[in-house]
Amino acid sequence: MRLIGTYVSPYARRVAVALVSRGMAFEHEALNGYANPDRARELNPVGKVPVLVLDDGEHLIDSGAILDHLNELFGTSRALVPARGFTRRAALRLASLAMTVCEQVTAHHFEGRRTDDCAQNELLERYRLQIIGGLKALNASCVPEGSIGARPLDISTISAVVAFDYVSRWYPELDAASQAPALAAVAAALINEPAFALTRPAMT
């Protein structure tokens, strides 16, 4: 299979982390959909990454749908998501919160780049509060009985650590570690884990 999407994208990166964590071989094409929108639209009608191209040529889009497919492939012994019940709902909730944090970081970044002092301060503040709220909710699950940081890596830990790294990269002035110290500790403990180390985008 082939994963298409730069690891700067937290959505592509969390798929790659899942694949590496389960030892699944894949090819990687580091496509940036912003830099090459024509190529992105060839692969996905809405021009977004990641895209996972299966061996039979089928194209899967959206990281959530891709991870759902991978969860089926991995089987119950290596599942990314618990099979049922409260633990399943909790893992999916945390993963959703993590990806929403990433969405709002992106929105904050682009709103802040608007020229001629056109950035809307009320929008920037809304995004900031949403990001902080998400980080604090993730942080609350970084406890011994929580799922973030547990082994094997599941969808909640993968998504939360990827989100923490994304905030740290694109919104450094927020100081994600001070907002979510327990999550920062989990991310630090996993910094050399191959699934995260091999998918960490270079700082430019």
Task: Tell me which of 78, 105, 127 is where a domain ends.
Answer: 78
Asked if the structure places residue 199 within a domain, the reply is no
Please give the model's pTM, rounded to 2 decimal places.
0.95
- Shared domain check, 74 and 141: no
Q: Which helix (H) or strand (E) holds 161?
A: helix 155-170
- Domain housing 116: 85-193
Q: Are 4 and 49 in contact (CB under 8 A)?
A: yes
93 & 189 share domain: yes
Could you give the CA distance from residue 156 to residue 139 in angstroms, rounded to a whole number? 12
**153 and 89 belong to one structural domain:** yes
* CATH number (domain holding residue 19): 3.40.30.10
Q: Are residues 34 and 112 in the same domain?
A: no
Strands of the sheet with 59-61, listed across from one edge: 27-29, 2-4, 51-53, 59-61
pLDDT digits 0-9 by tens, 104-135: 999 999 988 887 677 788 999 999 999 999 99
Whether 170 maps to a domain, the answer reads: yes
Q: What is the reported pLDDT for 147?
A: 82
Q: Which of 18, 46, 78 is the last residue of a domain?
A: 78
C-alpha span between 197 and 121 (Å, rounded)? 36
Query: Of 78, 107, 138, which residue is a domain's last?
Result: 78
Mean pLDDT of all residues in 134-163: 92
Overall number of domains in the chain:
2
Residue 72 lies in a domain: yes
pLDDT at 51 over 80: yes
Q: How far apart are the first and last CA of the chain?
A: 28
The verdict on residue 204 lying in a domain is no
Q: Are strands 51-53 and 59-61 parallel, antiparallel or unpaired?
A: antiparallel
What type of residue is 6? T
